[in-house]
Amino acid sequence: MNSDRLWSLIRKEFIQIVRDPRTLAITIVMPVAMLFLLGYAASNDVRNVPLAVWDQDRSPASRELLDAYRAADYFHLAYDVDSEDALRGLIDHGQALAGLIIPPDYSTRIVRGETAQVAMIVDGTDPSIASTALSAAAMIGQTKATNLLVERAASRGQSAVTQMPVEVRTQVWYNPDLLSSHFMIPGLIGLILMYLTTLLTSTAIVRERERGTIEQLIVTPLRSSELMVGKLLPYALIAMVDVVEIIAAGVLIFGAPINGSLPLLLVLSALFLMSTLGLGLLVSTMASTQQEAMMTSAFFMLPALFLSGFLFPLSSMPWYLQAISHVIPLRYFLIITRGIMLKGVGVEVLRTEILALALFTVIIMGAAVLRFHKRLD
């Protein structure tokens, strides 16, 4: 590698990037805009499930029960109806995802010390919402029942049997509130960076080919390796700006934690960028038009989305999909971002992932260098 040649190329690339302010603006603004957009959308949290209530009792006791549902922010008491048909209609139209029916004798039964039944109907179309809503509904009901038992016992002057025979004490580490945004933001950072960087370099070589400047470059003493590195470094710098702003946005806007080392996160982000920028370059050496290059790099996105562990846990996938996931750099980076941001782990835990990314980068850059021949045929 000749530093003079390399520096000349890097300088030229920078001038070209800076003199194309529209593309530069998109590059700088897009990651945060995407994080903003997707950060709110990509959430598995079940909150504010619209609930239709048919309260046939309309007593202080039934209102107390409704208050219990209102207090837990799982449900949003959106509709107050007065027939089963009305309730069914709301669920059919998707306006309500759950319905609660309180029978007319609810308070009477409670007063008499009998078992009062209420009905909970849940729209099972989306199983993840349904199961969370069901268990939340059951939990709220049980808590209410336990409270009633205690009250009754107290009113009879008995000391309550509050001791439960078995108790499972649960403890959630790293993300104690089970906020899916905390889980999603580190993943989104990786996904957005991958999308952006692969696109950035995928046109880098083929653009020279389309404009005919590649011919002039080939007849110079510039080496294939110098061309690849010289094309990669300027974009790496820009992508690092993106890394900093997207992490800042994740922390400031979405309150994502960084429990581990920020410098380590930045360094490993840079490593990840090398692998995805390299992938873009490899695509660029193979494509014959910029359009083809962009299509090809977009083609990598969907598998990365599904097979990296971004959306679904890898452990629940069949073995062959798990095998494929090993060649997706995002897979490793997700473990790294989630590890550093949520778990606060360091290099000693992430050694495998770091090695995998480094290896991937070396192989992909090597392939790009070998793939680019200083010839036209």
288 near other proteins, judged by CB under 8 A: no
Q: What is the rounded distance in angstroms from the CA atom of residue 190 to the CA atom of residue 330?
A: 6
Q: Footprint of other proteins on residues 14-73 (CB under 8 A)?
A: 15-16, 19-20
CB 234 within 8 A of CB 316: no
Tell the smallest beta-carbon distance from residue 276 to other proteins (Å). Answer: 25
7 near other proteins, judged by CB under 8 A: yes
220 near other proteins, judged by CB under 8 A: yes
Tell the smallest beta-carbon distance from residue 297 to other proteins (Å). Answer: 23
109 near other proteins, judged by CB under 8 A: no
Residue located via tokens 């404009």: 211
Q: Which is nearer to other proteins, 4 or 167 (CB)?
A: 4
Taking alpha carbons only, the member of 186, 343, 368, 371 closest to residue 272 is 186
92 near other proteins, judged by CB under 8 A: no
Q: According to CB under 8 A, which one of 95, 131, 216, 352 is a site residue for other proteins? A: 216
Q: What is the rounded distance in angstroms from the CA atom of residue 373 to the CA atom of residue 377?
A: 9
Q: Which is nearer to other proteins, 201 or 361 (CB)?
A: 201
Q: According to CB under 8 A, which one of 95, 117, 213, 288 is a site residue for other proteins? A: 213
Q: What is the DSSP string of 250-291?
A: HHHHH-----S-HHHHHHHHHHHHHHHHHHHHHHHHH-SSHH
Q: According to CB under 8 A, which one of 58, 88, 371, 374 is a site residue for other proteins? A: 374
Q: Which is nearer to other proteins, 157 or 212 (CB)?
A: 212
Tell the smallest beta-carbon distance from residue 12 to other proteins (Å). Answer: 5
Q: What is the rounded distance in angstroms from the CA atom of residue 161 to the CA atom of residue 71?
A: 26
Q: Which is nearer to other proteins, 99 or 234 (CB)?
A: 234
- Burial 347-361, CB ≥16 within 10 A → b, else e: eeebeebbebbeebb
Tell the smallest beta-carbon distance from residue 224 to other proteins (Å). Answer: 10
Q: Which is nearer to other proteins, 13 or 64 (CB)?
A: 13
Q: According to CB under 8 A, which one of 164, 172, 219, 252 is a site residue for other proteins? A: 219
Tell the smallest beta-carbon distance from residue 28 to other proteins (Å). Answer: 18
215 near other proteins, judged by CB under 8 A: yes
5 near other proteins, judged by CB under 8 A: yes
Strand-strand pairing, 49-55 and 75-80: parallel
CA 7 distance to own-chain centroid = 38
1 near other proteins, judged by CB under 8 A: no
Q: Which is nearer to other proteins, 129 or 217 (CB)?
A: 217
- What's the angle, vertex CA 249, arms to CA 247 and CA 255, rounded to 5? 95
159: tokens are: 């000391």
DSSP state of 315: G
One-letter amino acid identity for 367?
A: A
Q: Which is nearer to other proteins, 13 or 84 (CB)?
A: 13
12 near other proteins, judged by CB under 8 A: yes
Name every residue whose Cβ is closer than 8 Å to that of residue 32 and which is 6 or more positions away in sequence: 245, 246, 249
CB 183 within 8 A of CB 338: yes
User: Residues interacting with other proteins, by CB under 8 A?
Assistant: 2, 4-5, 7-9, 11-12, 15-16, 19-20, 211-222, 374-377
